[in-house]
Amino acid sequence: MGWSTIPKVIKSSKIAKNLTTKRAIQDKVVKAVDEGTKKALGSTGKLTEAGKIRTSKWKRDKSKELKELSYKWDKLVSKKQKNLKETKTLIKAAGATAATGAGTAGVSLYNKKKKK
C-alpha cells in the first residue's frame, strides 16, 4: 500500500445530538454528589481513598443512568414527531379524497338538475 492509495480527504463523524444536554446532566450530577459528600463529611472535610473511589463510581453510574433516560426521551420525542407528521399527511390525503368525492357528487347533482 503506497502513498497514492491513501484518501486525500478525511471525513469526520457527526456530532451527537443534544450533546450539551448530556454534558449538563453530567455536570449537575457531579455537583450534586460533591455537595452531598461535603455535607455528609461535615466539619472533618477529609475523604478517604475508598470514599473517593465510591463517590467517583457513584458519579459515573448516576450520570450514565440519567443520560440513558435522556436518550430514551429523545427517541420518544423523535418517534412522536414522526408519527405526527405521518398523521398530518394522512389527514391531508383523506381531506383531498373527501373534497374530490364531494366535488364529483356536486357535479353529478348539478348535471341531474340541468337535465330536468
Domain boundaries, the chain: 16-115
Residue 104 has pLDDT above 70, yes or no: no
Q: What percent of the chain has pLDDT over 90?
A: 0
Name which residue leads in pLDDT, 24 or 6: 24
Q: What percent of the chain has pLDDT over 70?
A: 62
Give yes or no for a contact between 40 and 73, defined as CB atoms under 8 angstroms apart.
no
| Among 30, 26, 36, 14, CA closest to 68 | 26
Q: Residue 114's pLDDT is what?
A: 59
Q: How many CA atoms lie within 13 A of 89 on its CB side?
A: 6
Question: Cell numbers of 23, please?
Answer: 454534558
| Among 54, 14, 20, CA closest to 36 | 54
